[in-house]
C-alpha cells in the first residue's frame, strides 16, 4: 500500500497543476481545458510516482515511455513536464505563441515529449511500435499510452489493440481517460463506445476499471498494471469527468477546446482553490 | 536470346534480406503482403525482426514510426495504393517528425495490370512528394532497387520508395553505384531529352532506339530520385536540347512531369511534353496492353517525341 503522505502529496500536486492548466489556456486564449483537467490526476501519478524517468536526461535509454495520444490535452502534460523540470516553467506562458516551444499539440522537439499527437488514435499505434522494439531488445522499460473515450471511435485504436495482444505486449499499459464528453457532446450521444471494458477483454487484454480522480485507486491500478506479467497488455479504464475541478467546465462539451474569458478564469481559479484534497475524488 | 527479367520488388526483397544479415537494427513491418512485396525473404530468415500487423496499413505505419524512435531502422511495405490509406499517419507521425521510416509501396502504376484500377496507384508520388521532409524514390530495375534499399539504410529520415510488380530486364550492372538525388544519363543525344522514371525508363530506352532509326537522337535520363530532384541535370539538358519530355507510369498531375516542370518554369522555361496517365484511372489488362492503350509504350513515346522535335 502506498503511504498516506504520498497520496496526499500527489493530490496537492494535481490541484496546483490544475491552476497551471487553466492559466496557460487563459493566457493563450486558446487550448483544450476539458480533457487536460480530466487527465491530470493520472498524469501526476505517472510522473511523480510511477514512471522511470530522469528529467535531466530525457532521452535516457532505459526510461519508461509515456505517450499522450490525445494530444489536444497538451496543457496537462506541459504543466507536468515543466514542474518536473524537463524545461523552464516560464515556457508555460508562451503556450501556443509564435516561436514558443510549447506548440498547440505536442512536438518531439519539446524535452520529455515522447509523441507528437494531434491526430487521434495514432499514439496507440506508435506505442505498439515502441513496445515491440523494447521487447526485441529485452528492455524492462514500459510503455504507457493515454487515449480518450472519444478517441476510441478511431479505427486505428482497435487495429493497434489487436496487435498489442497478438504480440503479447505485457510491457504495454494503456489508459483510457474516459471523461464522457467529446467536442460536440456526450460521447454516448455522438457515438456510443459501449462497454469498453468488455471490448478490451475480448481483444485479449487485462482490464482494470477505476475512478480516475481517486489517487488511491490510480496508484493501485498502476502498481497492478506494472507488475502483471501474463503476456497481455493492460488497459486501465479510468473513469473521469471532463473539466474536473472547475464547476462550469465539468461534463461541458463547450469547454472541450475553448479558453475561459477573464470572468470565467477567475471563477475557475476560485473553484480549484476550493478543492479539498482530502475529499477530492 | 531473351534477357532475364526481374521486378523491382524482387530487388527490394533481396536487398532487405541481405541488409538484415548485415545490420541487426533493421526490422520490417508487414501488412499481410510480404509474399507480394517480397519482404517475406527477410521475414523467413528473421522472424523475430519481422512484425506483422495483419491487414492494417495505418497501424503498419504507426508501428514502424514507434519502432524508429528507439533507434531501429524499420522498412514498412505494402502495395503503393494501400500505403495511401495510411497517408495521414505518414504525414502527421512520420514526415512531420522526420522519423527514420522507410515506406515502400509496391505494385505501383498501371503496370500492376490485371488487378485493375483499384490496385493501380497513380497518385502516390504526387501525395508523398507534397510532404515536407519526405524523399521519394523509384528504381528503374531490380539492381537499382537493391542499391536503393542499402542507400536508405544509411539515410536518416522519412522516405517513400516505389516499386513494381512487372519484371523488366536489368539496365544496371551489379557494380552500379546509386546516389540519392542524382539523375543518370543512360543515353546521350542532342534533339530532345526524355526524363523517365521507374518502368518507363525501359520504354524510353526502346523509344530512343526507334527514334535513332528515324535520325532523331535523344537523351534518356533515369530520374530515380523524384524528390529531391536533380535540378542541375534537368536544367543543363533542357538548355542543350530545348525539347523536354517526361515519361512516368503515374498521373501526369503531381508526379515526375510536374516535378520537372517546376524546375524548368522557374529556371529555364521551355516547351515540355508530359507522358503519363492522363488524369484517368486504369483498368484490367496485361501490362503491355495497358501501356499501349494509355500511350505509355515505346511507340507512343517515340511518336510524342517526334511531334515535339518537329515543333522546335
Report residue B202: phi and psi, to 5°: -65, -45
In chain B, CATH 3.40.50.970 sits at 5-169
CB contact under 8 A, B63 and A129: yes
Nearest neighbour of B93 by CB, restricted to A122, A128, A155: A122
CB contact under 8 A, B63 and A128: yes
Q: Cα separation of B142 and B164, whole Å?
A: 10
Flag residues of chain B having pLDDT under 50.
none
- With bands split at pLDDT 50, 70 and 90, how would you rate the model's confidence at A263? very high
In chain A, what residues touch B65 (CB-CB under 8 Å)? 125-126, 129
In chain B, what residues touch A108 (CB-CB under 8 Å)? 69, 97
In chain A, what residues touch B48 (CB-CB under 8 Å)? 136
Is A278 contained in some domain?
A: no
Q: Cα separation of B141 and B169, whole Å?
A: 7
Q: What is the pLDDT of residues A131-172, one digit of tens each?
A: 999 999 999 999 999 999 999 999 999 999 999 999 999 999
Is A234 contained in some domain?
A: yes
CATH number given to B184-311: 3.40.50.920
pLDDT confidence of residue B112: 96
- With bands split at pLDDT 50, 70 and 90, how would you rate the model's confidence at A74? very high
Query: Nearest residue on chain B to A143, judged by CA atoms?
Result: B66
Quote the percentage of chain A above a pLDDT of 70. 99
Q: Which domain holds residue A157?
A: 4-273
Q: Cα separation of A190 and A188, whole Å?
A: 6
pLDDT confidence of residue B3: 75
The mean pLDDT value for A31-56 works out to 98
Task: Report the DSSP beta bridge partners of residue B225.
Answer: B137
Please give, rounded to a whole number of angstroms, the shortest distance from the CA of A16 to a CA of chain B.
32
Q: Tell which phi-psi region holds residue B291, choosing left (phi > 0), alpha (psi between -120 and 50) or beta.
A: alpha
Q: How many domains does chain A have?
A: 1
CB contact under 8 A, B66 and A125: yes
> Exposed, middle or buried, A59 (CB in 10 Å: 0-12/13-18/19+)?
exposed
CB contact under 8 A, B65 and A129: yes
Is A280 contained in some domain?
A: no
Please give, rounded to a whole number of angstroms, the shortest distance from the CA of B102 to a CA of chain A.
14
Q: What is the pLDDT of residues A187-198, one digit of tens each?
A: 999 999 999 999
CB contact under 8 A, A118 and B92: yes
Q: Cα separation of A265 and A195, whole Å?
A: 36
Query: Nearest residue on chain B to A132, judged by CA atoms?
Result: B67
In chain A, what residues touch B93 (CB-CB under 8 Å)? 116, 119, 122, 126
pLDDT confidence of residue A1: 47
CB contact under 8 A, A129 and B64: yes
Sign, CA torsion A237/A243/A246/A249: negative
The mean pLDDT value for A44-50 works out to 98
Sign, CA torsion B229/B231/B233/B237: positive
Specify the pTM: 0.97
Is A118 contained in some domain?
A: yes
Q: What is the pLDDT of residues A194-230, one digit of tens each?
A: 999 999 999 999 999 999 999 999 999 999 999 999 9
Q: What is the pLDDT of residues B235-266, one digit of tens each?
A: 999 999 999 999 999 999 999 999 999 999 99
Query: Nearest residue on chain B to A163, judged by CA atoms?
Result: B53
Query: Nearest residue on chain B to A141, judged by CA atoms?
Result: B70
CB contact under 8 A, A159 and B61: no
Please give, rounded to a whole number of angstroms, the shortest distance from the CA of B7 to a CA of chain A.
30
The chain A residues in contact with chain B (CB within 8 A) are: 107-108, 114, 116, 118-119, 122, 124-134, 136-137, 155-156, 159-160, 162-163, 166-167
pLDDT confidence of residue B2: 60
DSSP string, chain A: ---HHHHHHHHHHHHHHHHHHHHHHHHHT-S-HHHHHHHHHHHHHIIIII----TT-TT-TT--EEEESSGGGHHHHHHHHHHTTSS-GGGGGGTT-TT-SS-SS--TTSTT------STTHHHHHHHHHHHHHHHTT----EEEEEETTGGGSHHHHHHHHHHHHTT-TTEEEEEEE-SEETTEEHHHHH----HHHHHHHTT-EEEEEETT-HHHHHHHHHHHHH--SS--EEEEEE--TTTTSGGGTT-GGGSS----HHHHHHHHHHHHT--TTT--
CB contact under 8 A, A122 and B97: no
Please give, rounded to a whole number of angstroms, the shortest distance from the CA of B107 to a CA of chain A.
24
Please give, rounded to a whole number of angstroms, the shortest distance from the CA of A266 to a CA of chain B.
36
Grid cell, residue B251, equals 498521373
Interface predicted TM-score (ipTM) of this complex, two decimals: 0.96
Q: Is B179 a catalytic residue?
A: no
In chain A, what residues touch B89 (CB-CB under 8 Å)? 119, 122, 125, 156
CB A117 within 8 A of CB A69: yes
Q: Is the pLDDT of residue A4 over 90?
A: no
DSSP B141: S
Q: Which of B40, B57, B84, B203 is catalytic?
A: B57
Helix, strand, or coil here: B39?
coil
CATH number given to B5-169: 3.40.50.970
Query: Nearest residue on chain B to A154, judged by CA atoms?
Result: B58
CB contact under 8 A, A162 and B54: yes
pLDDT confidence of residue B312: 84
CATH number for the domain that contains residue A127 = 3.40.50.970
Nearest neighbour of B51 by CB, restricted to A124, A132, A137: A132
Report residue A243: phi and psi, to 5°: 80, 15
Amino acid at each position: 500500500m502506498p503511504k498516506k503522505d504520498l497520496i496526499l502529496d500527489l493530490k496537492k500536486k494535481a490541484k496546483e497543476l490544475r491552476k497551471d492548466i487553466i492559466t496557460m489556456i487563459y493566457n493563450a486564449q486558446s487550448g483544450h481545458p476539458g480533457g487536460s483537467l480530466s487527465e491530470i490526476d493520472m498524469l501526476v501519478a505517472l510522473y511523480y510516482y510511477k514512471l522511470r524517468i530522469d528529467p535531466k536526461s530525457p532521452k535516457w535509454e532505459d526510461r519508461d515511455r509515456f505517450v499522450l495520444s490525445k494530444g489536444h490535452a497538451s496543457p496537462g502534460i506541459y504543466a507536468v513536464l515543466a514542474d518536473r523540470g524537463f524545461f523552464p516553467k516560464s515556457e508555460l506562458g508562451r503556450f501556443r505563441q509564435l516561436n514558443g516551444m510549447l506548440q498547440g499539440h505536442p512536438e518531439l522537439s519539446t524535452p520529455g515529449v515522447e509523441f507528437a499527437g494531434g491526430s487521434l488514435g495514432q499514439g496507440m499505434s506508435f506505442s505498439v511500435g515502441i513496445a515491440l522494439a523494447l521487447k526485441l531488445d529485452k528492455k524492462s522499460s514500459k510503455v504507457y499510452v493515454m487515449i480518450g473515450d472519444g478517441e476510441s471511435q478511431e479505427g486505428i485504436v482497435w487495429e493497434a489493440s489487436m496487435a498489442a495482444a497478438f504480440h503479447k505486449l505485457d510491457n504495454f499499459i494503456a489508459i483510457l481517460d474516459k471523461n464522457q464528453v467529446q467536442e460536440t457532446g456526450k460521447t454516448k450521444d455522438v457515438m456510443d463506445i459501449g462497454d469498453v471494458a468488455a471490448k478490451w477483454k475480448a481483444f485479449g487484454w487485462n482490464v482494470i476499471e477505476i475512478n480516475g480522480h481517486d489517487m488511491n485507486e490510480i496508484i493501485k491500478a498502476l502498481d497492478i498494471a506494472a507488475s502483471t506479467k501474463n503476456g497481455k497488455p493492460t488497459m486501465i479504464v479510468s473513469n473521469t469527468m471532463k473539466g474536473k475541478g472547475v464547476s462550469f467546465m465539468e461534463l461541458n462539451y463547450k469547454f472541450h477546446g475553448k479558453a475561459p474569458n477573464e470572468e470565467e478564469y477567475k471563477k475557475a481559479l476560485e473553484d480549484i482553490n476550493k478543492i479539498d484534497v482530502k475529499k477530492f475524488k | 536470346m531473351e534477357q532475364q527479367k526481374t521486378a523491382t520488388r524482387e530487388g527490394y526483397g533481396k536487398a532487405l534480406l541481405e541488409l538484415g544479415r548485415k545490420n541487426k537494427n533493421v526490422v520490417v513491418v508487414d501488412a499481410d503482403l510480404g509474399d507480394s512485396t517480397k519482404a517475406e525473404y527477410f521475414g523467413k530468415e528473421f522472424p523475430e525482426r519481422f512484425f506483422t500487423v495483419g491487414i492494417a496499413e495505418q497501424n503498419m505505419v504507426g508501428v514502424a514510426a514507434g519502432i524508429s524512435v528507439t533507434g531501429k531502422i524499420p522498412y514498412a511495405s505494402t502495395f503503393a495504393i494501400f500505403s495511401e490509406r495510411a497517408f495521414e499517419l505518414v504525414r502527421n507521425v512520420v514526415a512531420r517528425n522526420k522519423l527514420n521510416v522507410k515506406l515502400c509501396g509496391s505494385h505501383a502504376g498501371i503496370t500492376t495490370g490485371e488487378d485493375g484500377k483499384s490496385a493501380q496507384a497513380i497518385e502516390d508520388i504526387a501525395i508523398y512528394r507534397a510532404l515536407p521532409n519526405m524523399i521519394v524514390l523509384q528504381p528503374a530495375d531490380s539492381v537499382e532497387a537493391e542499391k536503393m534499399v542499402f542507400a536508405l539504410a544509411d539515410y536518416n529520415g522519412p522516405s517513400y520508395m516505389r516499386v513494381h510488380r512487372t519484371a523488366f530486364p536489368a539496365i544496371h550492372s551489379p557494380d552500379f553505384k546509386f546516389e540519392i538525388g542524382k539523375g543518370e544519363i543512360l543515353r546521350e543525344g542532342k534533339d530532345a531529352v526524355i526524363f523517365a522514371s521507374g518502368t518507363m525508363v525501359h520504354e524510353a530506352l526502346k523509344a530512343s532506339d526507334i527514334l535513332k532509326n528515324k535520325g532523331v537522337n535523344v537523351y534518356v535520363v533515369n530520374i530515380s530520385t523524384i524528390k529531391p530532384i536533380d535540378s542541375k541535370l534537368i536544367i543543363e539538358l533542357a538548355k542543350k536540347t530545348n525539347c523536354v519530355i517526361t515519361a512516368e507510369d503515374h498521373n501526369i498531375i503531381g508526379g515526375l512531369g510536374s516535378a520537372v516542370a517546376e524546375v524548368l518554369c522557374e529556371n529555364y522555361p521551355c516547351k515540355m511534353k508530359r507522358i503519363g496517365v492522363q488524369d484517368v484511372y486504369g483498368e484490367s489488362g496485361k501490362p503491355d496492353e495497358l501501356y499501349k492503350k494509355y500511350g505509355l509504350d515505346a511507340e507512343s513515346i517515340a511518336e510524342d517525341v517526334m511531334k515535339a522535335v518537329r515543333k522546335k
